[in-house]
Structure 1
Amino acid sequence: MRIEITDLDTLRLHRADGLDLRGVTLARLDLTDPDVDALLRTPMDGALLLGCALRPETQRRAQAAGALLFPIVPGLPYEVYRSHLYTCAELFDGFDPDHPETYADTLDARVYRHTREQGYPPDPLHALAERLHDHGISEALHDVLTGKPVAVMGGHALTRDSAGYRDAVELGVALGRGGFTVLTGGGPGAMEAVPLGVRLSDRSIVDEALAALAVAPRFASGAKVDAVEIGRWLAAGLTLDLPTGDRARTIGIPTWFYGHEPPNPFCELHAKYFANSVREEGLLTVATGGIIYTPGSAGTVQEIFQDYTQNHYGSVGPAAPMVFLGKRFWTEEVPAAPLVRKMARGRAAEPWILVTDDADEAVALLSAYATT
């Protein structure tokens, strides 16, 4: 496996151990200091330098030694060679809750505007930059995940004052009590209600949290970004003082492809992608502890059958639980569950498919699977 070095102290230790740089990745390092430059006087066949600052003579020497150099890409509002996930503080930097229109000044909004300006498909430079960014996000996501993470899928349209939103919060409370790391699509609706519940982990304060959110029950719908409406929605969420532990237990996986839907403020980390296809496949793949499907629309149905395909063929590991939460919805209104059950008959996935109205029963199945 390729070694990746992202700080100068690690580079110094690597070289002090008598190791060369063949096949090593150096990312986002300032290598212009003469003392640091001396560390590069070693075999570098197959080395990969991503976004590093180099003296001209060092650059020529590295290329002659067989290294591949990917330069800093100027004029972008995001880090191309990223090695860590986003925090809400980073995505919403510059936002003033007292002035909701300032959402337009945040990193999240600026990156989305940039993608819209490029059009689709973007030119080769921006396409390459976005793919390198997304690769870094995938690596960073794998670095922070432990155990068997559980994902919850569901619609974005649930308003904060709806019964469905409360149900999703209650589900999150149950998952939080179960000790799970919980993944969602990172946006509004069910995608924010579940992580809110995970972080509350106490049913007695759900009413208080929902009352605080009631001042802005919905985000601006439609494909056009309304910075003021989104800002009001975001400001209400940021008023909640939510506990944070020593590790992130709520991770959102949103995309700038749907950048008109803001990432929610309740996920502790966001693995935000440019490519929606990479994001969707990645979310299903890393949810090795199973997936709960709350009522949703076409996107949720698509995820169900993508997930079942992975389980059917065992393409990413053993079959994991598929929980359909909402019997009537998943058997009558959108009858996806009966078809999945029929296809799973006699296969390894069959015992891990559950259709229920009981969140505690859902969590019990996930807990049982986690011990296998």
Structure 2
Amino acid sequence: MSDEKTSGKPEQVVRSGRRARFFQGPVMRSEDQVLPTTTDERLLDSRGPSDWVHTDPWRVLRIQSEFVEGFGTLAELGPAVSVFGSARIHRDHPSYAAAVEVGRRLVERGFTVITGGGPGIMEAANKGAAEAGGVSVGLGIELPFEQGLNDYVNLGINFRYFFARKTMFVKYAQGFIVMPGGFGTFDELFEALTLVQTRKVTSFPVVLFGSDYWQGLLDWARSSVLGYGCIAERDLALLRVTDDVEEAVAIMGDSGPTA
């Protein structure tokens, strides 16, 4: 276990007496070298000095490099499923154990497993995939409170920009399994649903794992969102909810191979 202490800088974790290390895109920094803001924050902040007028065109090259790196690394990945979920789920939580089993069963069915590469649910799915002998992908992101990819990732990329990273989740996955999570998980879920609904991507299965967690969202979508006429009945059919690992994986298997 790690000793954690919080300051004005990103969360600092000391391992084996060594100084903590943080990844900002492909760049590794020790704790005294961490920049006070993230790359996304600097890109989107137009309230500061007018220097951004001159620096933004150069940022395009860095953004381009992230797409090139992602496409080049993942182009021959083969059939894959993205598993999303909270970084805050502890290893003794039932959802962690379920995510380990999801990762393992996906590999046994012939899929690569893609996660955000962080702790919690992401670590669990990567663990299941790696221990089953499969390709365990982590797409990390520069954040002020995470330190790079978990130990079970065997193919990883660190991104600076959320939008480049999210493109990789969608482009290289044939389906999504969404475990309990917070705002980041919601963002990934609703982006996928929007792309399917608007036919920007070929329709692929989206499974919500954990009926206790997700049923309230589905009830609200039916009673309020559908009730207001903001979506159609067929849009609700884009979501499947289950508590069973085998069912979740079988739904993914309808669009992919079996091992």
Match of 1:255 among 113, 119, 141: 141
Contact 1:293-1:323 within 8 A present in 2 as well: yes
Q: 1:255 to 1:190 in 2, by over 3 A?
A: same
Give the C-alpha shift of residue 276 in structure 1: 1.1
From the CA coordinates, give the structure whose radius of gyration is larger: 1
Give the C-alpha shift of residue 358 in structure 1: 0.1
2:82 and 2:67 map into 1 onto residues whose CA distance is 21
The one-letter code matched in structure 2 to 1:101 is R
Contact 1:337-1:355 within 8 A present in 2 as well: no
Contact 1:137-1:272 within 8 A present in 2 as well: no
Q: Does 1:292 align with 2:177?
A: yes
Identity of aligned residues (%): 26
1:168 and 1:105 map into 2 onto residues whose CA distance is 25
Match of 1:304 among 185, 189, 192: 189
Give the match for residue 313 of structure 1: 198
Match of 2:233 among 345, 358, 367: 345
1:156 and 1:369 map into 2 onto residues whose CA distance is 27
Q: Does 1:265 align with 2:157?
A: no
Match of 2:214 among 302, 323, 330: 330
Q: Does 1:368 align with 2:254?
A: yes
Structure 1, unmatched stretches of 5+, are 1-95, 202-242
Q: Secondary structure at the match of 2:21?
A: helix
Give the match for residue 359 of structure 1: 245
1:165 and 1:363 map into 2 onto residues whose CA distance is 16
Q: Deviations over 1:8-48 (max 9, x none)?
A: xxxxxxxxxxxxxxxxxxxxxxxxxxxxxxxxxxxxxxxxx
The one-letter code matched in structure 2 to 1:177 is E
Give the match for residue 110 of structure 1: 29
Q: 1:190 to 1:181 in 2, by over 3 A?
A: same
Contact 1:137-1:273 within 8 A present in 2 as well: no
Pairwise CA RMSD of aligned residues? 3.3
1:307 and 1:105 map into 2 onto residues whose CA distance is 27
Contact 2:63-2:164 within 8 A present in 1 as well: no
Give the match for residue 120 of structure 2: 189
Q: Secondary structure at the match of 1:261?
A: coil
Give the match for residue 92 of structure 2: 161
Q: How many residues align?
A: 224
2:23 and 2:239 map into 1 onto residues whose CA distance is 44
Match of 1:131 among 63, 68, 74: 63
1:293 and 1:109 map into 2 onto residues whose CA distance is 30
Q: Deviations over 1:183-242 (max 9, x none)?
A: 1111111111101011223xxxxxxxxxxxxxxxxxxxxxxxxxxxxxxxxxxxxxxxxx
Give the C-alpha shift of residue 252 in structure 1: 0.9
Q: 1:366 to 1:104 in 2, by over 3 A?
A: closer
Structure 2, unmatched stretches of 5+, are 1-13, 44-51
Contact 1:301-1:336 within 8 A present in 2 as well: no
Give the C-alpha shift of residue 302 in structure 1: 1.8
Larger RCO of the pair (alpha carbons < 8 Å, separation 6+) = 2
2:23 and 2:159 map into 1 onto residues whose CA distance is 19
The one-letter code matched in structure 2 to 1:324 is L
Q: Does 1:277 align with 2:163?
A: yes
Task: Give TM-score scaled by structure 1 length.
Answer: 0.53
Match of 1:151 among 60, 63, 82: 82
Contact 2:95-2:179 within 8 A present in 1 as well: no
2:66 and 2:38 map into 1 onto residues whose CA distance is 19
Task: Give TM-score scaled by structure 2 length.
Answer: 0.74
2:256 and 2:22 map into 1 onto residues whose CA distance is 42
Contact 2:117-2:150 within 8 A present in 1 as well: yes
Q: Secondary structure at the match of 2:251?
A: helix
Give the C-alpha shift of residue 161 in structure 1: 2.7
Contact 2:176-2:206 within 8 A present in 1 as well: yes
The one-letter code matched in structure 2 to 1:267 is V
1:322 and 1:273 map into 2 onto residues whose CA distance is 24
Give the C-alpha shift of residue 97 in structure 1: 6.0
Q: Deviations over 1:253-304 (max 9, x none)?
A: 1111x153122121111122111122123312321x1000100111211222
Q: Secondary structure at the match of 1:355?
A: strand
